[in-house]
């Protein structure tokens, strides 16, 4: 099964992706994680991506689409994949469609007014990428899954989050209509406990 996770920054895509990927045995492919890994390793892609991710802008489509196309050709995607954070505009959606079709597009719906607090309080594991929120960490500084150190992403600050939400509204939100027209859209209420949201996803995928 080929699944796309759609939703604004902070809607809970990464959080749900961990669970979906485990239950349905699909590789979790996050373009944001791919860019952060390249930035850390200072690869040519990382050097190019850094100025865009730091400002909450989209990395150019040619680079992003090339990376995703290459990744989806890997052996572990033969039985499906879970895309998180791609596509993010119409060009990317059309490019993806030229080499792979989505079976289900999960649109995790959260009111934009809730996202600033979710993102500015997010802490991420530097080893496995798991997301947490300071409000629920009770002072813990390491990852529950792997023991890795938690850090705050450089783009999880008020100014950059503002830019990211604007980019989402202008460029990514139109994909809801795009996938609805293709009859693959599943709307998921993303407000509620993490396990409740996951149960909604499992029910929608049946
Ligand atoms: P995305 O991948 O869509 O940007 P994340 O999964 O990283 O979003 O979640 C963003 C923040 O919101 C994190 O701090 C995460 O712990 C928190 N979060 C995720 N799901 C929920 C939820 N159902 N309710 C409240 N907070 C959540
Ligand atoms: P995310 O981890 O999904 O919040 O993405 C972090 C940042 O990576 C974004 O703000 C963009 O700068 C970049 N990025 C991630 N996915 C894409 C994409 N599909 N197209 C362009 N830029 C992306």
pLDDT digits (tens, 9 = 90+) for 66-122: 999 999 999 999 999 999 999 999 999 999 999 999 999 999 999 999 999 999 999
CA of 57 to the centre of ligand 2 (A): 8
Give residue-wise pLDDT tens across range 154-193: 999 999 999 999 999 999 999 999 999 999 999 999 999 9
Q: Whose CA is nearest to atom 6 of ligand 2?
A: 32
List residues with catalytic annotation.
Answer: 13, 88, 122, 153, 164
**From the CA of 59, how far away is ligand 1's center (Å)?**
22
Q: Cα(first)–Cα(last) distance of the chain, in Å? A: 12
The answer to whether position 127 is within a domain reads no
Q: How confident is the model at residue 57 (pLDDT cuts 50, 70, 90)?
A: very high
Annotated ligand binding at 148? The verdict is no
Per the structure, the count of domains in the chain is 1
- The torsion angles phi and psi of 159, rounded to 5 degrees, stand at -65, -45
CATH number of the domain to which 10 belongs: 3.40.50.300
pLDDT at 135: 96
What is the C-alpha to C-alpha distance for residues 35 and 50, in angstroms, rounded to an integer? 8
Q: How far apart are CA 120 and CA 133, in angstroms?
A: 9
CB-based contact 42:60 (threshold 8 Å):
no
Q: Nearest C-alpha to atom 2 of ligand 2 is from which residue?
A: 32
Predicted confidence at residue 74, as pLDDT, reads 98
Pocket test for ligand 2, best of 31, 120, 165 (most atoms within 8 A of CB): 31
3-state secondary structure of 125: strand
**Residue-wise pLDDT tens digits, 128-157:** 999 999 999 999 999 999 999 999 999 999
Residues forming a β-bridge with 53 = none
Would residue 190 count as lying in a domain?
yes
Position 72 in a domain: yes
- What pLDDT does 3 receive? 98
* 118 is a domain residue: no
Tell me which residue range forms the domain holding 67: 2-111+163-205
Ligand 1 pocket (Cβ < 6 Å) reads 7, 9-15, 118, 121-122, 131-133, 192, 194, 197
- C-alpha of residue 20 to centroid of ligand 1, in Å: 14
Average pLDDT of the segment spanning 4-11? 98
- For residue 31, how far is its CA from the centre of ligand 2 (angstroms)? 6
Q: Is 53 in the pocket of ligand 2 (CB under 6 A)?
A: yes
Asked whether residue 174 is domain-assigned, the answer is yes
At 143 the pLDDT is: 97
What pLDDT is stored for residue 130 in this prediction?
93
In this prediction, residue 122 carries a pLDDT of 98
**Does residue 129 form part of some domain?**
no
Residue-averaged pLDDT of the chain: 97
> Minimum-distance ligand to the CA of 167?
2
Residue 56: per-residue pLDDT: 97
Question: For residue 151, is it within any domain?
Answer: no
The answer to whether residue 125 sits within a structural domain is no
Sign of CA dihedral 11, 15, 21, 23: negative
Cα–Cα distance for residue pair 122/130, rounded to 1 Å: 10
Query: What percent of the chain stands above pLDDT 90?
Result: 100
Let me know: does 82 contact 29? Beta carbons within 8 Å: yes
Is 106 strand, coil or helix? strand
129 CB near ligand 2 (under 6 Å): no
């Amino acid at each position: 099964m080929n699944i796309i996770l759609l939703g604004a920054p902070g809607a809970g895509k990464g959080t749900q992706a961990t669970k979906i990927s485990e239950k349905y045995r699909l590789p979790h492919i996050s373009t944001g994680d791919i860019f952060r890994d390249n930035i850390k390793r200072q690869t040519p892609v990382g050097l190019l991506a850094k100025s865009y991710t730091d400002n909450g802008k989209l990395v150019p489509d040619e680079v992003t689409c090339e990376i995703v196309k290459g990744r989806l050709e890997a052996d572990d995607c033969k039985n499906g994949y879970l895309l998180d954070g791609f596509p993010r505009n119409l060009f990317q959606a059309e490019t993806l469609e030229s080499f792979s079709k989505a079976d289900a597009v999960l649109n995790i719906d959260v009111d934009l007014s809730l996202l600033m607090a979710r993102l500015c309080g997010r802490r991420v594991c530097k080893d496995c990428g798991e997301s947490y929120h300071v409000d629920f960490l009770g002072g813990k500084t390491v990852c529950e899954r792997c023991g890795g150190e938690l850090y705050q992403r450089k783009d999880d600050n008020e100014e950059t989050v503002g830019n990211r939400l604007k980019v989402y509204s202008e460029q990514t939100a139109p994909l809801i209509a795009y996938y609805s027209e293709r009859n693959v859209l599943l709307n998921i209420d993303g407000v509620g406990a993490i396990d409740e949201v996951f149960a909604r996803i499992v029910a929608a995928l049946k």
